[in-house]
Amino acid sequence: MAAHPPHRLAMPTRREALYGLGAGLGSVALTSLLQADQSGRTHHPARAKRCIFLMMEGGPSHLDTFDPKPELTKQHLKAFTRSGEMESAMSSGKRYFVKSPFQFTKAGECGADICTEWKHLSKMVDDICFYRGAQVESVNHPTACYQLNTGNQFGGDPGIGAWVTYGLGTMNENLPGFVVLPRSSYPQGGAGNWSNGFLPARFQGTPLRPEGSPILNLNPPAAVSPQRQRENLDLLAQLNRQHLASRPGRGELEARIASYELAYRMQTEVPGVLDLDGESQATLDAYGVGGAATDSFGRKCLLARRLVESGVRFVQAYAGNWDSHDYIEKAHGALIRSVDQPIAALLRDLKQRDMLKDTLVIWCGEFGRTPDNGLRGGGQSYGRDHNAKAMTMWFAGGGTNAGHTIGATDEIGANAVECVHHIRDVHVTLLHLLGLDDNRLTYFHAGRHKQLSQFGGQLINELLA
């Protein structure tokens, strides 16, 4: 029987050779990524180190929260056409102006307009910058959520938190850089709202379950000792690296190796961060933890503070059901009461801990609401439809222009008319506050350098302190 010829390594293909040029560090992109992880370097001096993004999924009405319109009271239930012609008769198939069912007040030293349902947040308006000039493109929930969260209406791109952690790295290697606190049911568009997209997989958001164990299977079975677990992980890592060596440039495998190690490290730190039992009863009460209406979002806000305090770069907390097409007084009233106390407590807590100055807090939905609606229930159950051309969002901390209201909508709140900016400019401004330049924070994919704003945007200087 003939002896087997000596084993020879096959000559690499041209593609493999090109990949191999950077095999020692994964790729040029991974090289810069690792440098960001190690140094956290910014493109310019940062005003904020971290971000808490309060996402009101469904589209809260600016007209019933922070942008009062007396003209709507005058025109209440008068019909109008899209050209703006109004009629006093109410007939089938027509749309009608609807006034806000809520009262408004001017709160704080800055005299910010705020619905009186915000009983707690009204005491914090001097720390808030309200912005009324934002616009988006879609009035469809999934595409609008994707555009707000990733810059791309059709999904598939990295979430904001993924871009931030890609650019800045982590402040705590034992915790994910990007954490998401969703509702029991995911927002429209699902996990694509916090995807890593085309970035390496380790930058995707880590969702924590709102009920039960926040992270399933985090700890090993009782029969597996820490030493045995470490040995198992070392063997698995060795096998994975051998597999990766013959498949250079495979970011998914690199991310899987890193994720196993992160999960191992998380075992020591995550339980303590997520355990609210160490908080005083006064703190729990301040956030509304235990309250029938406020417990769910109160826990998210308190957990968000604990996460950023422990070194998480970007936390996104979701509150849903803001899609009030009917019974807006009942629906929006209940929703405001469920988040009002927790959000105010979060701002106050960050401020007392001297963290608000370098923590950027953002509140918004995926779009605003219309000043009109189709008449339902004899005029007693009116709500509002989706509006991409006018929405209010607000910012606190992180170098934003506290105690000011920026921009304006027209007299009925249908369109932004002052300091008008596309959501891409909000993204550019968010990154700027964190010390990142959108035009420099890029990743080469599909033949071009991609960025959060898609094709570039403009800094909204009015939002800066």
Residue-by-residue DSSP string for 182-235: --SSPPTTGGGGG--TTS-GGGS-EEPPSSS-SSTT-SPPTTS-HHHHHHHHHH
pLDDT at 21 over 50: no
Question: Which is more confidently placed, 397 or 38?
Answer: 397
- Name the phi and psi angles at 25, rounded to 5: -120, 10
Under 8 Å between Cβ of 165 and 313: yes
Mean pLDDT computed over 271-278: 83
Q: HSE of 196 in the Cβ direction (CA atoms, 13 Å)?
A: 19
What the chain holds in terms of domains, given with CATH numbers, is: 42-213+282-463 (3.40.720)
pLDDT at 28 over 90: no
Mean pLDDT computed over 190-197: 97
Within its chain, how far is the Cα of 460 from the centroid?
19
Mean pLDDT computed over 399-422: 98
pLDDT of residue 30: 40
pLDDT of residue 215: 64
Q: How far, in Å, CA of 397 to CA of 308, rounded? A: 14
pLDDT of residue 382: 84
Q: How confident is the model at residue 328 (pLDDT cuts 50, 70, 90)?
A: very high
Of 87-96, 133-142, 349-358, 387-396, the range with the lowest mean pLDDT is 87-96
pLDDT at 266 over 70: no
Q: How confident is the model at residue 193 (pLDDT cuts 50, 70, 90)?
A: very high
pLDDT at 321 over 90: yes
pLDDT of residue 17: 39
pLDDT of residue 186: 92
Mean pLDDT computed over 159-182: 95
pLDDT at 230 over 50: yes
pLDDT of residue 373: 84
pLDDT of residue 267: 66
Task: Pull the structure tokens for residue 276.
Answer: 């609210």
Residue 108's identity, in one-letter code, is G
Mean pLDDT computed over 212-218: 60
Specify which residues 315 forms β-bridges with: 52, 179
Greatest mean pLDDT among 84-93, 245-254, 273-282, 433-442: 433-442
Q: How confident is the model at residue 3 (pLDDT cuts 50, 70, 90)?
A: very low
Average pLDDT value over all residues in the chain: 85
pLDDT at 19 over 80: no
pLDDT of residue 220: 65
Question: Nearest CA to 383 among 393, 375, 392?
Answer: 375
pLDDT of residue 217: 56
Question: Which is more confidently placed, 81 or 196?
Answer: 196
Instruction: Give pTM, 2 decimals.
Output: 0.84
Under 8 Å between Cβ of 65 and 115: yes
pLDDT at 137 over 50: yes
pLDDT tens, 68-115? Answer: 999 999 999 888 665 544 444 344 457 889 999 999 999 999 999 999
Under 8 Å between Cβ of 349 and 379: no
pLDDT of residue 12: 41
Q: How far, in Å, CA of 155 to CA of 142, rounded? A: 9
Mean pLDDT computed over 230-238: 71
**Eight-class DSSP state of 415:** S
Specify which residues 178 forms β-bridges with: 314
pLDDT of residue 4: 40
pLDDT of residue 286: 98
pLDDT at 33 over 90: no
pLDDT of residue 185: 86
Q: How confident is the model at residue 243 (pLDDT cuts 50, 70, 90)?
A: confident
Question: Which is more confidently placed, 1 or 125?
Answer: 125
